[in-house]
């Protein structure tokens, strides 16, 4: 089973700043089958990115995904107040596993 | 509007069994693969199992392999998860979730989620 590790565990930033979240897999993720989700307290997750870099429908272009192989990144170019949440990555190239999450909190 | 409504959760003793159901509406169910994903209270997401659109390709997390079984009934627009030999660590909110694309290997990314049904394993 591929183990997925996210870092940092918590990111403290101010609105308007750039957020860079990391997702590392223990083995290469085939076909860049890597997705990112946003989850707010008490809500179901929302799909942001699939295929490592494709934005889901309705997702603002301040969210971007990049990477391949074992190292992937989610970048939020300028944090809006509604972006403070927990973010998860998921590999689906070999069965599936989620990372442990990164909490983006207001500094 | 896509809707996924889970049912069947509850309190069960260790070693017991439960069957979860998910009723799907608002889309052509047999065009999509489906996942079960769980989230323990205050913890992160854990993929549990997935099944493709015709039920011929399934996948399981190592933590549930041999104990859980996923299935679907396309005539009833329904997804199921049979959970046997339940353990305390299976306690979680279980979400039914729709595949967002055409994938193989028993799983895919997720574009729609249900609100979940709570399973508590306790003596």
Instruction: Give per-residue pLDDT as tens, B60-111.
Output: 999 999 999 999 999 999 999 999 999 999 999 999 999 998 887 788 999 9
pLDDT at B31: 94
Distance CA B55, CA B70 (A): 9
- The SS3 of residue A83 is helix
Candidate from B60, B105, B110 with C-beta closest to A94: B105
Structure-model confidence comparison of residues B103 and A35, the more confident one:
A35
Instruction: Calculate the CA dihedral of residues A37, B59, B44, B4 and round it to 10 degrees.
Output: 60
For B26-64, list the strands marked E by DSSP: 34-39, 45-51, 58-60
A96 touches chain B (CB under 8 A): yes
pLDDT of residue B106: 84
Verify whether the Cβ–Cβ distance B113 to A45 is below 8 Å.
yes
Report chain A residues whose CB lies below 8 A from the CB of B103. Answer: 33, 92
Q: What's the average model confidence in pLDDT over A1-14?
A: 96
Taking the mean position of all CA atoms in its chain, how far away is CA B83? Answer: 10
| Bigger pLDDT: A97 vs A31 | A97
Q: In A1-107, where does DSSP find H-type helix? A: none
A53-57, B27-31, B99-103, B108-112 — which is least confidently predicted?
B99-103
- Nearest chain A CA: its distance from B4 CA (Å): 12
- A89 with A4: CB under 8 angstroms? yes
| Nearest residue in chain B measured CA to CA from A45 | B113
């Amino acid at each position: 089973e591929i183990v997925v590790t996210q870092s940092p565990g918590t990111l403290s930033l101010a609105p308007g700043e750039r957020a860079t979240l990391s997702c590392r897999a223990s083995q290469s993720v085939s076909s860049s089958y890597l997705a990112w989700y946003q989850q707010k307290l008490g809500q179901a997750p929302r799909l942001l990115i699939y295929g490592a870099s494709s934005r889901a429908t309705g997702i603002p272009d301040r969210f971007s995904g990049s990477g391949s192989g074992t190292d992937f990144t989610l970048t939020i170019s300028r944090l809006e107040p509604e972006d403070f949440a927990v973010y998860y990555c998921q590999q689906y190239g070999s069965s599936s596993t989620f990372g442990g999450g990164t909490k983006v909190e207001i500094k | 509007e896509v809707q996924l409504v889970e049912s069947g959760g509850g309190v069960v003793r260790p070693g017991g069994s439960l069957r979860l159901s998910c009723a799907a509406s608002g889309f052509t169910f047999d065009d999509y693969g489906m996942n079960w994903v769980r989230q323990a209270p205050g913890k992160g997401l854990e993929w549990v199992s997935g099944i493709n659109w015709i039920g011929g390709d399934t996948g399981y997390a190592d933590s549930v392999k041999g104990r859980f079984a996923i299935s679907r009934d396309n005539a009833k627009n329904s997804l199921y998860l049979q959970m046997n030999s339940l353990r305390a660590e299976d306690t979680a909110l279980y979400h039914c979730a729709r595949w967002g694309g055409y994938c193989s290997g028993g799983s895919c990314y997720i574009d729609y989620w249900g609100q979940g049904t709570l399973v508590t394993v306790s003596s």
